[in-house]
């Protein structure tokens, strides 16, 4: 059994995929060019945003956005305590200070009360300038943007949607990668929309920011490539990856997103009342980057994971450590406590999840979980 069956996906897409890759190789245009431009237009239209700027990976996308906003030393950037390391890493990388806030036990996303407490604590202390709220659409579910955008407006903060795991999700009929002041995603192979290597993108409706990002991605280029007007980076999407994503986006929109939601419903039906299953609030749709259950304790979680492994059922712990406990952040001050994150790190377990999962496989996983917990 595969945790995320990328081989099965390739087999399903093989004829079209092989042709797209070979055509790109034969065209001898490997970086940028018409394939990348066409993909950016498709992605922008899909997400309902004016500009999509592709780049090297989802981490670069976040970092470039912070750079474009001029975030640096002395600035506070609010980051969920329960997320992948990159969401906070980029903040320190540009010289700003990450301020971690807690998440909700049902949705795994921002706890707006904790976020507000963190903002108030930073303001009361007075040594940092609060600038940006990074939200994460964890496991495929968009964060609570109604409340977050209102709170950010009240405190004059920018909102950066880290939708590395959220592509395809919806809230109130609006698609992920279109919330806040700018959004980013990742095309790492195991994400909801993945390529065959690293890739990422930034989404914004702001013409000026879009222009600045296009310069920052290519060594701070000015009117042409060898006119360099600012310090930038080299972060671009390869044409081959754009060709791969073009094929995958069609499958994603045609049937994969529907298929993962079907698989999630099978898990829900088989596991409700047995373990705490993921909560998708009214008005939301998840793109199911992960299907994550919660167990009563660390002991039960670890025991279950071992028992499933012995039966050939792969699972993952996303994430075993709160951001504020990471060694790399040991010098970073905690402004609020994050008890929910601490609890989740001990109790979460992500189950096999992908669009090619069969109902019998879901049943096998659910039966093994029930047998262990009995
Ligand atoms: C994967 C991920 C990233 C980083 O994306 P890469 O393409 O691997 O650099 C950032 N934030 C979150 C929440 C992620 O899951």
- Tens-binned pLDDT, residue by residue, of the chain (374 aa): 999 999 999 999 999 999 999 999 999 999 999 999 999 999 999 999 999 999 999 999 999 999 999 999 999 999 999 999 999 999 999 999 999 999 999 999 999 999 999 999 999 999 999 999 999 999 999 999 999 999 999 999 999 999 999 999 999 999 999 999 999 999 999 999 999 999 999 999 999 999 999 999 999 999 988 999 999 999 999 999 999 999 999 999 999 999 999 999 999 999 999 999 999 999 999 999 999 999 999 999 999 999 999 999 999 999 999 999 999 999 999 999 999 999 999 999 999 999 999 999 999 999 999 999 99
Alpha helices of the chain — where are they, by DSSP H? 6-27, 34-47, 58-68, 86-93, 112-125, 145-154, 207-216, 239-251, 257-271, 298-310, 339-347, 359-373
Q: How far apart are CA 222 and CA 252, in angstroms?
A: 36
Residues with CB under 6 A from ligand 1: 57-59, 83-84, 86-87, 136, 162, 164-165, 186, 188, 198, 200
**What is the length of the chain?**
374
Q: How far apart are CA 223 and CA 5, in angstroms?
A: 44
CB neighbour list of residue 266: distance below 8 Å, 6 or more residues apart: 359, 362, 363
Three-class SS state of 211: helix
Q: Which atom of ligand 1 is nearest to the CA of 289?
A: 15
Q: Which atom of ligand 1 is nearest to the CA of 60?
A: 9
Domains of the chain from N-terminus onward? 6-247 (3.40.640.10), 255-373 (3.90.1150.10)
């Amino acid at each position: 059994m595969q945790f995320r069956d990328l081989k099965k996906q390739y087999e399903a897409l093989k004829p079209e995929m092989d042709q797209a890759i070979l055509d790109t190789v034969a065209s001898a245009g490997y970086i940028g060019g018409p394939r990348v431009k066409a993909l950016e237009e498709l992605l922008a239209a899909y997400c309902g945003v004016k500009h999509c700027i592709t780049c090297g990976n989802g981490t670069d996308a976040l970092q470039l956005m912070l750079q474009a906003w001029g975030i640096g030393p002395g600035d506070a950037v609010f980051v969920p305590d329960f997320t992948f390391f990159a969401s906070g890493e980029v903040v320190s990388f540009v010289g700003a200070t990450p301020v971690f806030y807690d998440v909700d036990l049902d949705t795994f996303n921002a706890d707006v009360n904790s976020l507000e407490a963190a903002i108030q604590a930073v303001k009361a202390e007075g040594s940092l300038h609060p600038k940006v709220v990074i939200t994460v659409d964890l496991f495929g579910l968009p964060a609570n943007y109604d409340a977050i955008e209102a709170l950010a407006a009240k405190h004059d903060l920018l909102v950066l949607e880290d939708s590395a795991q959220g592509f395809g999700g919806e809230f109130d009929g609006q698609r992920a990668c279109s919330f806040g002041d700018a959004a980013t995603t990742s095309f790492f192979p195991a994400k909801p929309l993945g390529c065959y290597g690293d890739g990422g993108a930034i989404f914004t409706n702001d013409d000026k920011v879009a222009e600045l990002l296009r310069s920052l991605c290519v060594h701070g280029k000015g009117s042409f490539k060898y006119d360099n007007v600012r310090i930038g980076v080299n972060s671009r999407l390869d044409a081959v990856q754009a060709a791969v994503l073009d094929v995958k986006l069609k499958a994603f929109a045609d049937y994969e997103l529907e298929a993962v939601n079907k698989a999630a419903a099978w898990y829900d039906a088989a596991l409700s009342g047995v373990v705490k299953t993921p909560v998708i609030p009214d008005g939301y749709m998840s793109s199911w980057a992960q299907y994550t259950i919660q167990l009563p304790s660390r002991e039960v979680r670890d025991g279950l994971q071992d028992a499933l492994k012995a039966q050939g059922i792969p699972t993952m712990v996303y994430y075993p450590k709160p951001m504020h406990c990471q060694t790399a952040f040991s010098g970073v001050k905690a402004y609020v406590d994050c008890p929910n994150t601490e609890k989740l790190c001990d109790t979460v377990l992500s189950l096999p999840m992908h669009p090619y999962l069969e109902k019998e496989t879901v049943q096998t996983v659910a039966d093994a979980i029930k047998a262990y917990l009995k």
